[in-house]
Amino acid sequence: MVDEIVLPRADWQLRADRHRARIETLIEPYTQAHRRGEKHPVIDFLFTYYSARPGQVTKWHPGFGVALSRAHRYGGLRGYHVTDDGTARVTDEHLASRLHLVRWILAMEQATARRTPRLSCFGLHEWAMVYRTDAKRHRIPLRLGGAGTDAVVEAHPIRCTHFDAFRFFTADAEPLNATALTRADAIENEQPGCLHATMDLYRYCLKLTPLVGGDLLADCFELALTARVLDMRASPYDLTDYGYQAVPIETADGRAQYVREQTAIARRGAELREALVTTCEDLLVAAGSTPDLP
């Protein structure tokens, strides 16, 4: 590969160590909880829902087109070929096998980026998931109790645009959403103000690993964690015992606070979305393909 970059061991090892330390710091409350045999109601989501292990996130990858010298430890990892002298690189064959996914992610993120952020959902999807039911998603008390939670849902319009949140609505809450969402039309409804659309940037980096470099994965993971924290602080659950202060979206001040924090997350998400779009476009060019969906 003519344009391939080869990183010496000292260089890539430093990057890998910094990456691991960064992620381990971010997930320290999760790690401590699991050492005690407990679940963490906020951070667990980034691993359980996205079907990832912490080791997948703490492992640094250079990304396609960057080789590592003296990197025998990458031997056996999916997508890699390691030569006898220890030079490790992600293979052309692995890229070719993932082209459909690259095109799909590119189409999704380009469509999302073109839309104006909607900043009036107030995180009510979490409330809709416990509307008129005793089956909570977390073993944590509701701040306002069952009746109080139901009253908030009934007093505010629900404008969820993310199917993977909508699909967990209770049967009574589904008809209250402004749009009846389906998996098939997800790409037509996704918009950049949605916290879950921002968290999905991390999901897509995971799916494209090791084609995507570790820096982009770490940036998207950190923003996903920020979005998840806001998601749960604005939820009906009482997370005081975990050190999280509620964003009381049942009040005007709480809704205004939510919009401020949501706006900041959406702005950072736009930057990372652009970086992911560029990465996907570069991967298609490297494979001699086009960004058009098949």
Write out pLDDT tens, residues 228-269: 999 999 999 999 999 999 999 999 999 999 999 999 999 999
What integer best gives the mean pLDDT of the chain? 95
User: What's the pLDDT band for 293 if we cut at 50, 70, 90?
Assistant: very low
What SS3 class is residue 273? helix
User: What is the rounded average pLDDT of the residues 122-145?
Assistant: 92
Would you state the pLDDT for residue 292? Answer: 60
Q: Is the pLDDT of residue 23 over 50?
A: yes
With beta carbons less than 8 A apart as the criterion, state whether 157 and 178 touch.
Answer: yes
Q: Is the pLDDT of residue 114 over 50?
A: yes
Q: Is the pLDDT of residue 137 over 90?
A: no
Q: What is the DSSP letter of 176?
A: G
Q: What is the DSSP letter of 74?
A: G
| CA separation for the pair 109, 253 (Å, rounded) | 32
C-alpha to C-alpha distances, 15 to 55, 82, 90, 173, 192, nearest whole angstrom: 16, 19, 17, 46, 30
User: What is the rounded average pLDDT of the residues 186-196?
Assistant: 97
The tens digit of pLDDT for each residue in 202-228 reads 999 999 999 999 999 999 999 999 999
User: What's the pLDDT band for 22 if we cut at 50, 70, 90?
Assistant: very high
**C-alpha count within 13 angstroms, C-beta hemisphere, residue 153:** 27
Question: The whole model's pTM is what?
Answer: 0.95
For CA atoms 118, 123, 108, 203, the dihedral sign is: positive
Q: Is the pLDDT of residue 1 over 60?
A: no
The tens digit of pLDDT for each residue in 32-90 reads 999 999 999 999 999 999 999 999 999 999 999 999 999 999 999 999 999 999 999 99
User: What is the rounded average pLDDT of the residues 26-30?
Assistant: 97
| CA separation for the pair 20, 250 (Å, rounded) | 39
